[in-house]
Amino acid sequence: MRDLPENLAQQLLPWYEKNRRDLPWRQNVTPYRVWVSEIMLQQTRIEAAKGYFSRFMEAFPDVKSLAAANEEAVLKVWEGLGYYSRARNLHKSAQRICAEYGGELPADFNSLRALPGVGDYTAGAVASIAFGLPEPAVDGNVLRVCARLTCCARDIGEPAVKMAFRKALRDLYPAGHCGEFTSALMELGETVCTPGLPACILCPLVESCGACQKQEQDEFPVMPVKKARRIEVRTVLLLEHDGCVALRQRPETGLLAKMWEFPNTEGFLTAEQAAEQARSWGCAPQSIEPCGQAVHIFTHLEWHMIGWRIACGEAPCRFEWTRDASQYAIPTAFRTYKEEEDIL
């Protein structure tokens, strides 16, 4: 494996200055805005995150306002973005930052790393972009750039590979331009050194890239083998009574913890079985009709769902009955059924 070029920053920074995208978190840069944006971008495409970032900043403009909010309000603003543990961790971290650091993010990699939901990548991004520290932020984009530059034949999913690139990059950080260097590496991976066939003709590192020189760009990086997702089949019941629909809150831990959902159960139920399930909950079903099928993909799991709309003669207190489900933080997994409810 080749070494990273010693003049990596000198080659990359002028390109970044000319080609950087105008993103909302690159305006009015503060540690808080950098931190929130990096948490959002952990599992979300940039285009999808833009609107959410702006709405989140409007609702919670600083650490103290986020810490003071209740968790359900935070989840509601996050609704639709997915991976809701990120929102919970932001909320918990904000409360810790207020309690331990006076409402200001700590300007230290290890202290940042100790916050809930913050790993090496996010700590490095905040430390370098917000505080100008020589701390690399090595995500999939940066790993891809480094693997192609060096013709790294090892699986980039291996922790040792990430650690080796973090160490190598740290030695190349230019004093006074740490944040720009981190952002430039990310930008290159996101816009030029992309998966599949990269746009090498546009790359400022083309003469230093081992993979490009060998015309083996598609050989790198070496990716970990993906495990097949587990499939669960579920039946969702839109239980309606007197203009209201039933919701229930998920358990405090586990998948979609504490989010609101339409009552559902494992397996694909027939109309008769769905009515019997509603009856077992004390809903006294009066009529039933189908309300669509849906598939939702989590990281390691797929939900395959069918739905039934059931008019109920009773509204048991085991559920929350509401005329406006949009006021509750309902996961994207139930979007099909929420849209069904919104058109009533």
- Catalytic residue list: 38
Pairing of the two strands 301-312 and 230-241: parallel
In 3-state terms, what secondary structure has residue 327? helix
Backbone torsion region of residue 63, taken as left when φ is above 0, otherwise alpha when ψ lies between -120 and 50, otherwise beta: alpha
Strands 244-249 vs 320-322: parallel, antiparallel or unpaired? antiparallel
Q: Which two tokens mark 9? A: 């920053």
**CA angle, corner 52, sides to 49 and 54, nearest 5?**
110
35, with CB counted inside 10 A (0-12, 13-18, 19+), is: buried
The C-alpha atoms of residue 233 and residue 230 are separated, in whole angstroms, by: 10
Q: How far apart are CA 139 and CA 122, in angstroms?
A: 9
Strands 285-297 and 301-312: antiparallel
3-state secondary structure of 165: helix
Rounded Cα gap, residues 25 and 205, in angstroms: 26
Is residue 57 within 8 Å of 74, Cβ to Cβ?
no
* CA 126 – CA 93 distance, rounded (Å): 14
Whole-angstrom distance, CA of residue 84 vs CA of residue 95:
17
Residues with Cβ within 8 Å of 164's Cβ and at least 6 positions away in sequence, in order, are none
**Which token pair is 294?**
């849906």
Query: What number of helices (H) and strands (E) belong to the chain?
Result: 14, 7
Cβ-based neighbours of 226, under 8 Å, separated by 6 or more: none
